[in-house]
A and B are shown apart, each in its own frame.
Chain A
Amino acid sequence: MENKRIDYNTINGWGIDADPKNDPTYPMRKRSNETHEGYNWERPPQQPIDMEVLHSIERPNVTAVFGTSMPPKGLSGQLRRLAFKYGEGRFAHWLPLILADRVDEVEGIIDDLKQGHVPNIFAEKGMKAEWKYNRKGLLEKMAVMAAVTTAAVLLLRRKAD
């Protein structure tokens, strides 16, 4: 379809929210005298902390509410605890978390197997949809993967010989 300049007068609602005061210095927030009073608001009641909650060292406490999904555990948990010894601006905070996520993935598979569940990786990756809507692309991807794997195996065998 061809692009053409639009006559904005034809557009439903054009300019309905125009605000000449909204230049970049016009704050989209309601400032008050309290703005500079620091961390002294009346806090909501504290959600009971009956599990391990890692909190940023850039704040003094655990927030009044927090999520309870997946508390730290195992080796990934150790890495996460290490990460939370550092501030949010440090790679020492983020790199252990990234590593922990990868370890967590392996721990997840081990947990599945321990519970007698063999994860169906193809289903989890949504391959049914890929097969339905992008069969050619999926076959191409599989062919490339097969070729790369074969080449790698041949190369390793040659080295071993």
Chain B
Amino acid sequence: MNYRGPQRVRLDRNKPMPEILHPQDAIVRVTRACICGSDLHLYNGNVPDTRVGETFGHEFIGVVEEIGPNVHNLKVGDQVIVPFNIACGKCTFCKQELYGNCHEANPQATAVGGIFGYSHIAGGYNGGQAEYVRVPYADVGPVVMPEGMDPDEAVLLTDVVPTGYQAAEMGGIQKGDTVAVFGAGPIGIMAARCAWLFGAGRVIVFDQEEYRLEFVRNYAQCEAYNFRSIEDPVVFMKKTTDSLGADVCIDAVGAEAAGDALQTITGRKTLMQAGSATALQWAINSAKKGGIVSVVGVYGPTGNLVPIGNALNKGLTIRGNQASVKRLLPRLIEHVQNGIIKPKPLITHHIPLEEVADAYRIFSDKLDNCIKPVLIPPSARI
């Protein structure tokens, strides 16, 4: 996959094979690579320092083809789940299990760790929407896929499941809490599902796509509302919670949010702010006093229009982070193996890697009731 500019990507058969560049590198042959909602920020040209020629893709699994001399936990032929964050395991942040905040993986920015295929803002790594990918610190992040695990389940453990789970975890949900989730994309759907695992008493999801609302209603067994059909989701939330608001609000949308004309024009159309912050605005305004706002929706690095004064006056706690995939994987693998979390139904489209441009269009425009597309390289289809 080769990025050529906003909303332009193509297949590139001439990209050189990745090489071992560091003793802790591995080369992985990709067998599944998803397109993530946050890839759409790159695709739409909303993330600064996204260079023409880059390969996107931070959600992938594959087979280890080659290892560097200092890789001891993996061997050639292992099938691996590769967390989307690149983490050294040695810096002060990794030692605190903040693997999404590693300080030895991204020279270009201190505010973000290293992420595969996520522009030079996240380290300038080529991503997994390819046949082969270089995986740094291969002894730290990648986990050998448990025997018999369905690859479609495994690929969703690289980002969707951990991010949705951490969204709920950061909400500090207590038994009986009302949880509002803004966004019914894959992350919002997973956050709604995981909110129950932490003991939520009520889970309410907002989106504008009817097919996604119907999906989340069934999949996560929650209430789901179309914000287009209710005048004001904030007022709606107050009315449905005895005028108090939700204990926990989750922003599972980020920069591409719809629903507020000012945010859309300034955030998405003219890039005057780092994305449209509609979901975050609603989350802050819908939360109960003393409540918690959990942010996993991705925004750009500049600034956003959010009602921070309301957050202060309501005594809210705002928590956000890139998911610490490595920290969460053991528990989440257990949940998947025990059938507590069943991620596979989220994948609605299996698309050959060669059709990457169409795959991005389908996902970006939500065509054909798409929830999650997964790209399959030719070598994985043999």
A interface residues with partner B (beta carbon < 8 Å)? 1, 3-6, 8, 10-20, 22-24, 26, 28-32, 34-35, 37, 39, 41-45, 47-48, 53-56, 58-59, 61-70, 76, 80, 83-84, 88, 91, 94, 97-98, 100-102, 104-105, 107-109, 119-121, 123-130, 133-134
Q: Which B residues are CB-close (under 8 A) to A66? A: 105-107, 114, 123-125
Q: B97 on the interface (CB 8 Å rule)?
A: yes
Pairwise interchain contact A15-B175, C-beta atoms closer than 8 A: yes
Main secondary structure on A side of the interface with B = loop
Main secondary structure on B side of the interface with A = loop
Pairwise interchain contact B92-A34, C-beta atoms closer than 8 A: yes
Instruction: For the complex, give the distance between the alpha carbons of A88 and B95 in Å.
Output: 25
Pairwise interchain contact A44-B221, C-beta atoms closer than 8 A: no
A88 and B137 in contact, given A14-B196, A14-B197, A94-B302 (Cβ under 8 angstroms): no
Pairwise interchain contact A47-B6, C-beta atoms closer than 8 A: no
**Besides the known contacts A17-B331, A56-B110, 9 further A-B residue pairs in the complex with CB atoms under 8 A apart:** A11-B221, A17-B194, A41-B91, A67-B123, A94-B48, A100-B49, A108-B4, A109-B5, A129-B361
Instruction: For the complex, give the distance between the alpha carbons of A126 and B324 in Å.
Output: 33
Instruction: For the complex, give the distance between the alpha carbons of A109 and B70 in Å.
Output: 41
Q: Which A residues are CB-close (under 8 A) to B123? A: 63, 66-67
Instruction: For the complex, give the distance between the alpha carbons of A12 and B219 in Å.
Output: 12
B interface residues with partner A (beta carbon < 8 Å)? 4-10, 21-25, 45, 48-55, 70, 86, 88, 90-92, 95-98, 103-111, 114, 120, 123-126, 136-137, 169-170, 172-175, 194, 196-203, 214, 217, 221-225, 271, 292, 301-302, 317, 319, 324, 331, 335, 339-341, 357-362, 364-365, 367-368
Chain A residue with the shortest CB-CB distance to B107: A55
Q: Which A residues are CB-close (under 8 A) to B222? A: 6
Closest chain B CB from A91 CB (angstroms): 7
Pairwise interchain contact B203-A43, C-beta atoms closer than 8 A: no
Chain B residue with the shortest CB-CB distance to A126: B361
Q: Which A residues are CB-close (under 8 A) to B362? A: 126, 129, 133
Chain A residue with the shortest CB-CB distance to B197: A17
